[in-house]
Structure 1
Amino acid sequence: MHSHVYLPDEFLEQMAQILPKHLSMDDFVNACQKPLRKSVRVNTLKISVADFVELAKQKEWELQPVPWCTEGFWISADESNVPLGNTYEHMAGLFYIQEASSMIPPSALFSHEQHSEFESVLDMAAAPGSKTTQIAALMNNQGVLVANEYAASRVKVLHANIERCGVRNAALSNFDARVFGGWLPERFDAILLDAPCSGEGTVRKDADALKNWSISSIHSIAETQKDLIESAFHALKVGGTLVYSTCTLSEEENQQVCQHLKNTFGDSVTFESLDNLFEGASDALTSEGFLHVFPQVFDSEGFFVAKIKKLGKTQPPVVKKRMGKFPFEKLSNKKVQELTNALKSALNIDLPPQSSVWTRDKDVWLFPQELEPMLGELRFSRMGIKIAETHKNGYRWQHQVATALAQPNECRCIHVSLEDAREWFMGRDIRPESESGKGEIIVCYNDTVIGLGKWVGNRVKNGLPRELVRDKNLF
């Protein structure tokens, strides 16, 4: 028990006023003082759920399905020697350590939809990337996923997680998300606004989450949330889907923000009930059809999720744009074919369909085709994946070729030992026994791609980006 969890008296008074009649305050307080169960989400861009379940059996990990996410599991594992985050399965992107409640918003966004219908999706507050990578997997790396993060310091973490999980259809931006309604009006099929909030639902993982809690701060945050949800609604296509979520409990930041949207845009806004999202959803359902998840209901973090459809056009704010010259140039069909042949010859890897190749100086980038109409409308900090650098003798392939394009049983690769895999993730060169070669090579361990190296005689030079290197407590 975490009896030292800070729960201000005024906060408890507020919760007593909004707690549904079938729930008790004693259970609420007890749940807040109870440590969270650890949960993970299988990254289906890298491994199937069935294969992960079999892998977990071999590792003696005990799994319990998360009811609202077919890829989600509560997990019980011996971490006394190696934390889950330092297993090769995690570092290679086979799974994401993600709180179970935070899997609800992407599941709600894609419920009752054909995934192929979402050609353009916006994640307005994306870092550190749990929901972004979940959405990318639900999109199967098709279409375009714009992942925005306001805090510049968190964009690097967002990109590292996207890279680790093999996401190739994302474009990253670094803006106050209030700009999207004016800059990209009615451009997205689906939008997730996991809004910045007071974090009342997070005390089970952060005992001090409510140290600075106050009614006045909640009202201030709610005003920002109202601005953000208006921006999201303007950026959404007519007929599109918006999911609004928070990891907080106050009605001011949840129901009242959604009602503000309805009051502002009237009949253009309709709320879709989440009662059939999963078995047991009715235990957290509000009269509007939202999910208001108190921590004792599903033994999880507190969360709020609303699903909204846009039925009519809106008048977006008028903005003045100063974009400057776009620094990338699209590669000619002839050059694309040359690149395709070179990649196939070097690593036996094909370029994916529905992507386009662009260059900037000597760098070669793969963009999702659906991004192209937005290129002159918004400045992105990073788009697609960098696959190569050009030099006088051809191409120097990059790490994301391995993470986002390589298939372990099809590409040109070398299968390494446990000891070499450990060295690899520590950023060191490896010397596979009795082998040598030349040029770039995909490095695999246990039928899983773990990186891109380059032969230097009988040594494979390590190409792992610094942000993915681990230096202790490895598998």
Structure 2
Amino acid sequence: MHSNITLPAEFLSEMEAIMPSHLNMEDFVAACQRPLRKSIRVNTLKISVEEFKTRANDKGWILEAVPWCPTGFWIEADESTVPLGNTAEHMAGLFYIQEASSMMPVSALFEDDSIIYDSVLDMAAAPGSKTTQVAALMKNHGVLVANEFSASRVKVLHANIERCGVRNTALSNFDGRVFGGWLPEQFDAVLIDAPCSGEGTIRKDADAMKNWSKASVLSISDTQKDLIESAFHALKPGGSLVYSTCTLSVEENQHVCLHLKETFGDNVEFETLENLFDKTELSITKEGFLHIFPQTYDCEGFFVAKIKKTGSVPAPTVKKRLGKFPFEKAPAKTQKDIAEQLFKALGVSLPKDSSVWIRDKDVWLFPNNLEPMLGELRFSRMGIKIAESYNKGYRWQHQVATALASGNESQSIALSVDDAREWFMGRDVRPEGISGKGEVLVKLGNDVIGLGKWVGNRIKNGLPRELVRDKNLF
């Protein structure tokens, strides 16, 4: 596919100089010229791995386990008529199309599954592959702050969070360098999948190396050092930080981590990743990092480091001017009333680790673990919007369906495949021979795909615009 890619001579010299002795340049270049194998990650907020395997088998999809991610699989599927992204299973949020190597940082962060994180920061979150992976491993508990510097990419991030049924996030739109001063020692864990030169992405982007230069690598490295310092300040003592990139240069990888060690000394402890999966010895560095060349596991080039913060360090001083917080926590009586009305209307219960907050007529559900941060940082979107209030009660919102419903609620209707296709295209549906009143959960099989409202024998479509697809559906 990419046999005509250009790899700059200076870049190849750099790679030859740092490549381990058991690897060779011929295999490296050949791997760079091969297309990536397609891979997916099962979203366990929606479906178990075993149930997904059964569905995949029924559809003729061939799955091969990704060794470093229990929910990750390389997949072979016939996409000649319907792309994987337009299948019913993807639209319902049952899986996420994610490059296999990019599953590794979150697996490293959650390597010890006995540790429960109540607060996690994903410092560079869009488009949401790692954010949704973290949320699934947190089981939607605690709070996950998902930050994205690029305002244009926050919409994509939110759409993926919405599709995957994530409800414990708070989104922000800042340069990641602010967190160390604004939220010092606030998080149990921090993930920084840092912006980088993208040397490892050539297999999916033939132009990835088009503007490569050693000068740009060194410039990006300076930014990465600032970001990892900020991440370290935001981390609680005893907490874990995972630093990752999809690039290969030591300047953007080992040198950034060693800079952190040089800056904070014994407060920085490198945690080896040698036991993360079989055959890590092919990629492990002397510090315990994983430096992965594309030919090693037939994936993207990648780097992952895990770091423990062993002691407190003084954080940067900042001046805060936040203004008045526009939400108010609902009184206990109001919270109880909303919970009762939601259960009566749709059979959906509110989770016990979240609370109702009100802004004008909008009703939101915030994770309780977010509360200590509400007066410290301005978030662009918190939790999920569950309702809009009006004179006679509440109009329930889409994320009640995707993030709170199980599919077993009585006030629900399973659509035919044809009607489900119409639904995902943003159109109202008329289930044959059925009518009703009020709001209703809409399903395909037992997968909840949205929330509609009966108007006679028609269900009015409530799918958010960013989730509507207009062609080539399942």
TM-score range, shorter chain: over 0.9
State the partner residue of 1:256. 255
* Cα shift readout 1:187-233 (whole Å, capped 9, x = no counterpart): 00000000000000000000000111000000000000000000000
1:119-134 to structure 2, matched below 5 A, reads 119-134=118-133
* Cα shift readout 1:99-134 (whole Å, capped 9, x = no counterpart): 00000000000101424x200000000000000000
State the partner residue of 2:91. 91
Are the equivalent residues in 2 in contact too, given 1:121–1:188 (CA < 8 A)? yes
State the partner residue of 1:21. 21
Partner Cα distance (1:278, 1:130) in 2: 20
What are structure 1's unaligned runs of at least 5 residues? none
- Does residue 1:243 correspond to 2:242, yes or no? yes
Are the equivalent residues in 1 in contact too, given 2:346–2:409 (CA < 8 A)? no
Partner Cα distance (1:69, 1:466) in 2: 32
State the partner residue of 1:224. 223
**1:472 aligned counterpart, secondary structure:** coil
- Does residue 1:71 correspond to 2:71, yes or no? yes
Cα root mean square deviation, aligned:
0.6
1:355-374 to structure 2, matched below 5 A, reads 355-374=354-373
**1:90 aligned counterpart, secondary structure:** helix
Query: What is the letter of the counterpart of residue 75 of structure 1?
Result: I
TM-superposed CA distance for 1:340, in Å, is 0.7
* Cα shift readout 1:139-170 (whole Å, capped 9, x = no counterpart): 00000000000000000000000000000000
State the partner residue of 1:301. 300
TM-superposed CA distance for 1:2, in Å, is 1.6
**1:259 aligned counterpart, secondary structure:** helix
Partner Cα distance (1:282, 1:456) in 2: 62
Partner Cα distance (1:452, 1:99) in 2: 31
Partner Cα distance (1:436, 1:271) in 2: 61
Q: Give the TM-score normalised by the residue count of structure 2.
A: 0.99
State the partner residue of 1:429. 428
State the partner residue of 1:271. 270
State the partner residue of 2:7. 7
Are the equivalent residues in 2 in contact too, given 1:128–1:157 (CA < 8 A)? yes
State the partner residue of 1:211. 210
1:412-427 to structure 2, matched below 5 A, reads 412-427=411-426
1:279-358 to structure 2, matched below 5 A, reads 279-358=278-357
What are structure 2's unaligned runs of at least 5 residues? none
Partner Cα distance (1:163, 1:237) in 2: 29
Are the equivalent residues in 2 in contact too, given 1:147–1:172 (CA < 8 A)? yes
* Cα shift readout 1:72-121 (whole Å, capped 9, x = no counterpart): 00000000000000001001100000000000000000101424x20000
Greater alpha carbon shift after TM alignment, 271-280 vs 410-419:
410-419
State the partner residue of 1:112. 112
**1:6 aligned counterpart, secondary structure:** coil
Query: What is the letter of the counterpart of residue 274 of structure 1?
Result: L
State the partner residue of 2:136. 137
**Once superposed, which parts of structure 1, at least 4 consecutive aligned residues long, lie more than 4 Å away?**
none
* Cα shift readout 1:21-77 (whole Å, capped 9, x = no counterpart): 000100000000000000000000000000000000010000000000000000000
**1:141 aligned counterpart, secondary structure:** coil
State the partner residue of 2:180. 181
Are the equivalent residues in 2 in contact too, given 1:349–1:411 (CA < 8 A)? no
Are the equivalent residues in 1 in contact too, given 2:62–2:76 (CA < 8 A)? yes
Query: What is the letter of the counterpart of residue 50 of structure 1?
Result: E
Q: Give the TM-score normalised by the residue count of structure 1.
A: 0.99
- Does residue 1:62 correspond to 2:78, yes or no? no
Partner Cα distance (1:411, 1:322) in 2: 48
**1:380 aligned counterpart, secondary structure:** coil
Partner Cα distance (1:295, 1:418) in 2: 40
Partner Cα distance (2:284, 2:411) in 1: 51
Partner Cα distance (2:77, 2:455) in 1: 39
Partner Cα distance (2:460, 2:247) in 1: 46
Are the equivalent residues in 1 in contact too, given 2:45–2:164 (CA < 8 A)? yes
Partner Cα distance (2:422, 2:89) in 1: 15
Query: What is the letter of the counterpart of residue 362 of structure 2?
Result: D
Are the equivalent residues in 1 in contact too, given 2:173–2:380 (CA < 8 A)? yes
TM-superposed CA distance for 1:409, in Å, is 1.7
TM-superposed CA distance for 1:280, in Å, is 1.3
Partner Cα distance (1:66, 1:411) in 2: 38
Partner Cα distance (1:410, 1:315) in 2: 51
- Does residue 1:152 correspond to 2:151, yes or no? yes
May I ask how many residue pairs the two structures share in their alignment? 474
User: % of aligned pairs identical?
Assistant: 72
* Cα shift readout 1:367-402 (whole Å, capped 9, x = no counterpart): 000000000000000000000000001000000000
Query: What is the letter of the counterpart of residue 132 of structure 2?
Result: T
State the partner residue of 1:47. 47
